[in-house]
Amino acid sequence: MLNNVALDQLLLLDIETTPLTASFDHLPDELQALWLEKNAKTAPESENAFENFNERAGLLAEFGRIVCISAGFFFTENGHYQLRIKSFYGNDEKELLSGFLELTHKFFTRHPRFQFAGHNIREFDIPYICRRALINGLSLPVSLQLNNFKPWEQPLLDTMQLWRFGEFRNYTSLKLLAAVMGIPTPKDDIDGSMVGKVYWETGDVKRIADYCQKDVLTVAQLLLKFKGLPLIEKDGISIVA
């Protein structure tokens, strides 16, 4: 599987997002009204749109924000694949987005077979990054101007799409896919549903970045598994400060 994919041409990524504000009450009045309208259409069964904001707002780029983007890339040493990971995180969303977009531009220009890689990046991570970049007044690099690509030419390698094999009824989480493929994953003290709570109650973005990096590593191991290659050992993983 993935015989035509060159691992050293991939930029692996994962993002962590939170609601735009600590609570619904902190939203500007206009956005409060628009959230209530949005919630009534997308979750009409919800009895409490205010509590629903804390649970769901981080999933929507219009009502959420990015607090971490972790990016990884493969390289070889002594004939074995290794992984280098760099994270852009903090309270300044525009700054972290700018850093990631700059990295993306450099990677795209250096690698003729460039592709983004990740789990559910086609439906979540990439659109979210593009929308938040535009909201922050940033220009998208060529690799993220997806409307200029034919659908089959878009530089996206999505492990969730690969696992579907053309079937679109079910969502398979990265955690479940790693488990069934026999890929060991580290025990985490948080999961994706807790990121907003951790961010707004403790401000510990480093803790969030550590969690985000583990997802990038899991995607890397999954790609190696798909290609029938050995997994990366612990000493083959480096984190760029």
Query: What phi and psi, each to the nearest 5 degrees, are found at residue 46?
Result: -70, 130
Q: Which domains does the chain possess?
A: 7-20+63-240 (3.30.420.10)
* Long-range Cβ pairs for the range 179-185 (8 Å, 24+): 181/222, 181/225, 182/225, 183/218, 183/221, 183/222, 183/225, 183/231, 185/214, 185/218
CA atoms within 13 A on the CB side of 166: 0
| Token digits of residue 59 | 């999933």
SS3 call for 172: coil
| Token digits of residue 20 | 């735009």
How does pLDDT run across 56-66, given as a tens digit for each residue? 999 999 999 99
The answer to whether the beta carbons of residues 83 and 13 sit under 8 Å apart is: no
Query: pTM (2 decimals)?
Result: 0.94
The answer to whether residue 188 scores a pLDDT higher than 80 is no
How does pLDDT run across 190-210, given as a tens digit for each residue? 888 889 999 999 999 999 999
